[in-house]
Structure 1
Amino acid sequence: MPLVAVTDKIACSKLVLGSMMLDSDRMEHSAELMDAYAALGGNCIDTAHVYGDRSSRAVGLWMKERGNRAEMVIIGKGAHPYGSPRMTREFMEQDLAETFERMQTDYVDIFMLHRDDPDKSVGYILESMNSLLEAGYCRALGVSNWTVARIQEANEYAAAHGLVGMACNSPNLSLAKPNEPRWEGCVSVYADDLAWHERTQLPLLSWSSQASGFFTGRYNPDNGDPEIRRVYYSDANWERYRRAEALGREKGVSANDIALAYVLNQPFPVCALIGPNTVQELHSSANALQVALTPDEARWLDLGK
């Protein structure tokens, strides 16, 4: 599987395995998924303190059994607000300590802040995160659900004060554009944000890269899961769906393959977080790695000329 350099020492596979569907109480199924992912050449698993202990424990049990911790790139996320601000060094350390206990490790490769807290200065946040780097709790820093303006402010501060800045950004990027955030505080990227990533070449690790199955054919304009209807149902997205189907027919792949290829074929370093529930779904997602899109095709899919 192709790799994306996040730092000069950390490279993530283009498809990142999400961990929300992993469960230490269903270890046989979870191990089967992780084994299949590793067999495809995948090396990066996205975890988060807020996902609960059973998903992290499943990852830890699998790595211990396989003896492959050093080969895996583990993303850990913390300081999620849980409804009230938690953007402090103490909460970062607490979330990491609990993550380490769950995963039977003493570091994560990339530590991300799961949400932003605009009331905290980027200086305070960076100094807190750099202390985690210095303690060996992580090897690189990143953020999830931050605006590119805050990331730029943070990295400019880091450069001016001799600190390590954010190595990557993890927002939502998908061909289907959300009508509203799926969860409170979530950030999706649009044309101006993508242009910023193209200018800066900061790696982007997209969550919900497949728009929760919007392009799989399981939904139609007249029915569907209420949450998917709320977030993704719009005339513009159904037109994107029709265009993905049409281009898929030309290329001999599914609309879902085209939608994931749209994410993977950006003009900057990008990885797509996927959340397969079965090995079959995992292999289906891997099909998109073989789909090349021209800039004109990507623009047309997103309703450009």
Structure 2
Amino acid sequence: MKYLKIKGLDKKVSRVMMGTGWFSLEDEGVIFELLDTYVAAGGNVIDTGRFYNGGKSEKVLTKWLNARKNREELVIINKACHHYVDENNVHYPEKNRVGAQYITEDLEYSLNNMGVEYFDIYEMHRDNVDVPVSELMDRLEQHRLEGKIKTYGVSNWSNERVEEANEYCKSKGYLGISVNNPSFSLAKVNKPRWVGCVYVDSDYVKRCNDDGISIVSWGAQGAGFFVPLWKDINQDAPQDIKEAYFTEENFERLKRAEEIAKIKGDDVEPINVALAYVIDERMDVAASIGPRKKSELQSSLKALDIKLTSEEIAYLELKCDKLN
């Protein structure tokens, strides 16, 4: 496993993190095997949230934590300020929940629901530019000082809002934003798949890193685009996938990822190359992955052993026409 140092945390943080967005008690056996395999491989970050899978994620994760009694060995990410999601996992994006009161409400709910005393990293799922950054940062810093969270961050924020919040925190002497959680991947997204989500490029990542903010990417593997599940732009696919990823440039990136996979070894797949691009040590980036079976997790972990050259990175980014 490879690790990051995140501002405000004493624990090391693995570059591959276990996302729990689909977790439920119905799949307890598979989930326990996944979590055990992940931890055995050196992974130590579990990424969850109050509204993940209609609230089911926290329940099964809590059951695993209680069985393994390893909470203090782990870094747990939890989140506030998602729009309302009901128990059937139906989303209501019009029910915006960004504000200080929702940070507190969600934090207290999740601490209680999971039976833990604190979260290592606490993030805001979304942004609302009509809410001043001062209100949000004041509340996050308050809960840090109370010991209920160790450090905090944001998700799906523009770089401008991140910088505004960071400057405010500096002016107040706060710890400030340690983690930013947008979607960063080799694929460039043409249209967001969900309301309020932010997709970023390496320039955005570097600006955050320069301010001492680590990136945790969701969607780092392009929703299966680099498996590859689809081979050309005319192939049938779910509408949201087509609108997000089906561009000539992305299929060219896929082709190049396939080329580099062949160079790296017989057991290397293009999706491993795509993930290696995201977590490469040129930047402070980790990726939250969402495998649904052990073989998918093991495939993702292959990315840790792939070292990309600067030339290969430029080639994947379409900044040069060929590899020398």
Same-fold status (TM-score > 0.5): yes
Call closer, same or farther: CA 1:191–1:44 in 2, change over 3 Å. closer
Partner residue in 2 for 1:167: 178
Find the aligned partners of 2:5 and 2:203 in 1 and give their Cα distance: 23
- Indicate conservation of the 8 Å contact 1:201/1:269, yes or no: no
Q: CA deviation at 1:185?
A: 0.5
- Indicate conservation of the 8 Å contact 1:130/1:164, yes or no: yes
Find the aligned partners of 2:22 and 2:114 in 1 and give their Cα distance: 16
Deviation readout 1:195-215 (Å, 9 max, x if unpaired):
413533521100000001101
Partner residue in 1 for 2:241: 228
Could you tell me which of 98, 110, 114 is aligned with 1:87?
Answer: 98
1:36 is aligned to 2:51: no
- Indicate conservation of the 8 Å contact 2:206/2:283, yes or no: no
Partner residue in 2 for 1:11: 12
- Indicate conservation of the 8 Å contact 1:202/1:268, yes or no: no
Partner residue in 1 for 2:90: none
Q: How does 1:210-229 map to 2 (within 5 A)?
A: 210-221=221-232, 222-229=235-242
Number of aligned residue pairs: 305
1:243 is aligned to 2:240: no
> What CA RMSD, in Å, does the superposition of the two structures yield over aligned residues?
1.4
AA of the residue aligned to 1:154? A
AA of the residue aligned to 2:78? G
- Indicate conservation of the 8 Å contact 1:173/1:206, yes or no: yes
Could you tell me which of 66, 69, 82 is aligned with 2:68?
Answer: 66
5+ residue gaps, structure 2, are 85-93
AA of the residue aligned to 2:316? L
Find the aligned partners of 2:190 and 2:198 in 1 and give their Cα distance: 12
Deviation readout 1:146-190 (Å, 9 max, x if unpaired):
112211111111111122200011110011111111110001112
Q: How does 1:49-198 map to 2 (within 5 A)?
A: 49-51=50-52, 52-82=54-84, 83-198=94-209
AA of the residue aligned to 1:14? R
Find the aligned partners of 2:297 and 2:74 in 1 and give their Cα distance: 18
Q: Identity rate of aligned residues, in percent?
A: 35
Find the aligned partners of 2:204 and 2:285 in 1 and give their Cα distance: 13
5+ residue gaps, structure 1, are none
- Indicate conservation of the 8 Å contact 1:197/1:268, yes or no: no
Q: How does 1:283-294 map to 2 (within 5 A)?
A: 283-294=298-309
Q: Which moved more, 1:195-204 or 1:16-25?
A: 195-204
Q: CA deviation at 1:91?
A: 1.3
Find the aligned partners of 2:202 and 2:42 in 1 and give their Cα distance: 31
Partner residue in 2 for 1:2: 2
Q: CA deviation at 1:265?
A: 1.2
Call closer, same or farther: CA 1:195–1:139 in 2, change over 3 Å. closer
Q: CA deviation at 1:266?
A: 5.1
Q: CA deviation at 1:123?
A: 1.2
Q: TM-score, normalised by structure 1?
A: 0.96
Deviation readout 1:123-151 (Å, 9 max, x if unpaired):
11111111111222210011110112211
Q: CA deviation at 1:217?
A: 2.2
Q: TM-score, normalised by structure 2?
A: 0.90
